[in-house]
Structure 1
């Protein structure tokens, strides 16, 4: 690299790393943009310390950068724990990649750990509350209630993200009695096939037979499973509005599309499902992500134990 402008080399190395993780990890456009911002902040920090090449970075530089992320500096405010942790992960990944590519001789970030993030337990609602919301979704006349019930039944039956549910096409649904399932496309466009329960199958069948055809005639009859009144694919915002309206009618507060996904996982684990099976159903890359739900069910077990065991309390 002798004779090349230092900043040009650093930019090439940065773009090489971003291209690598985009392909290898299947990152979404938004996640990749976040990583790009993280690396840009790191480059500005290094430049302010007179460092313009990865080979000149020391462990002390990385440690001070990680500290500045949390506490802030004159140039940039501090970040929330999750954002600070992600930025450190991006920086460590860049240095590891540089070492693997032979651009540097050492990894100065090896001993710098991302800041631990306080664990926030997902919100789950009871099965009775879920049933009330699903029943409320089908209240009313016309085609909308059939679609709304099918949408929410599918989300709860499969643990789908709302983006996965509205992104599904008609051909992704199999309603054959021997193989009732849906093909979902998750983060990084990773696909998984998830079984569908009887209630969701009935709701989907009613929607497909009685409502989707008339809705499709309002547009071009595209492949989308869930259509709006103009015949186009239902939007994320419209799906949110559908759930909010059903929740309000059911008298259940503070419900978001992710609430049904959280409840799906919690109810399965509470019923004795293996955490690795739930991991596959949710489309989590790591079982560690799924294990947050086990804390919820352990709390439930502890409450039952202390309430009913004759010698739980002294």
Structure 2
């Protein structure tokens, strides 16, 4: 939880703590949300319940629309962005819906809570030439005095960058892969995405070559008896951490001259944009990325349109 949330939660009266714990369990066990998402939702609602207490409320029955609105207004006055306000409102609505569904309150007051729509911002993406430059740098020849452990880490880093760009998977999905999740013959990854939804994602020949090198000459060097089935390993033989994977990507991008800094999510955005620019339909890209809604994928059409506008502005004599 964020700094301060634990203290606020500990100060809540039992009449508010118990409904909060029941909702948190619902998020984990029934909705199967990630720990990161659960922490965010719970942090928002702890803030809401603290606000309720400050308004002399002591039970969830005291939670009314005026309290919800004043809580959001307080956040806006503090400088919350539209997207933060929209997220906090969504957390509150989830909580009040659970209270009504479980019979703890007679009315779902969150149904009448409106909030601003979060701005849909265009993802930062690399051009195809820039992506190629990053991959060229990542696969550069090794130093002559390279030690076995250094060689293993280099092969792993190459695979991290190649697979992220080749498949468009999320960094959490990448580091969660096991060796058996890779169909080397058909070049497919079996990925466990958000909501524990499984999908198959293809990857190309360069990523396949990087995979073979890692499995034959890299992974055996770093593997220990406790490594388990993890595909990607850290320096001590455990499963590669997502933070280290991000560091690998930023380092690879920084090594390519003139390429703007992006992380794993930037490579995912770039892969989706380049696939669309290559002629793929939006539904196929939705499946590739594992989006639950086509509306989420549609932001990439905005990216390609913006690129088209930029090309037109540079190239058309009457632009």
**What is the CA–CA distance in structure 2 between the aligned matches of 1:18 and 1:40, rounded to whole Å?**
11
Q: Does 1:300 align with 2:285?
A: no
Q: Does 1:247 align with 2:247?
A: no
The 3-state SS of whatever aligns with 1:213 is helix
Conserved in 2, the CA contact under 8 Å of 1:215 and 1:227?
yes
Matches within 5 A, 1:127-276: 127-139=128-140, 140-141=142-143, 142-176=151-185, 179-216=186-223, 220=226, 222-251=228-257, 252-276=259-283
* Most deviating of 141-150 and 249-258: 141-150
Conserved in 2, the CA contact under 8 Å of 1:137 and 1:242?
no
Counterpart position of 1:114:
115
Counterpart position of 1:3:
none
Identify the match of residue 282 of structure 1 among 274, 289, 294.
289
Q: TM-score, normalised by structure 1?
A: 0.85
1:244-287, Cα deviation, whole Å (9 max, x unpaired): 33223321231212211110111112223222322222122322
The 3-state SS of whatever aligns with 2:32 is coil
How many residues align structurally? 299
Residues 61 and 247 of structure 1: is their aligned pair in 2 closer, same or farther, counting only changes over 3 Å? closer
**What is the CA–CA distance in structure 2 between the aligned matches of 1:58 and 1:201, rounded to whole Å?**
56
Counterpart position of 1:16:
22
Identify the match of residue 55 of structure 1 among 52, 61, 69.
61
Q: TM-score, normalised by structure 2?
A: 0.83
Quote the RMSD (CA, aligned, Å).
2.5
Counterpart position of 1:37:
43
The 3-state SS of whatever aligns with 1:122 is coil
The 3-state SS of whatever aligns with 2:109 is coil
Counterpart position of 1:85:
86
**What is the CA–CA distance in structure 2 between the aligned matches of 1:119 and 1:31, rounded to whole Å?**
19
Conserved in 2, the CA contact under 8 Å of 1:161 and 1:261?
yes
Conserved in 1, the CA contact under 8 Å of 2:175 and 2:232?
yes
4+ residue segments displaced more than 6 Å: none
Superposition deviation, residue 230 in structure 1: 3.7
**What is the CA–CA distance in structure 1 between the aligned matches of 2:105 and 2:250, rounded to whole Å?**
53
Listed as ranges, the gaps of 5+ residues in structure 1 are 1-5, 73-77
Superposition deviation, residue 151 in structure 1: 1.9
Conserved in 1, the CA contact under 8 Å of 2:227 and 2:233?
no
Residues 306 and 98 of structure 1: is their aligned pair in 2 closer, same or farther, counting only changes over 3 Å? same
Superposition deviation, residue 65 in structure 1: 1.8
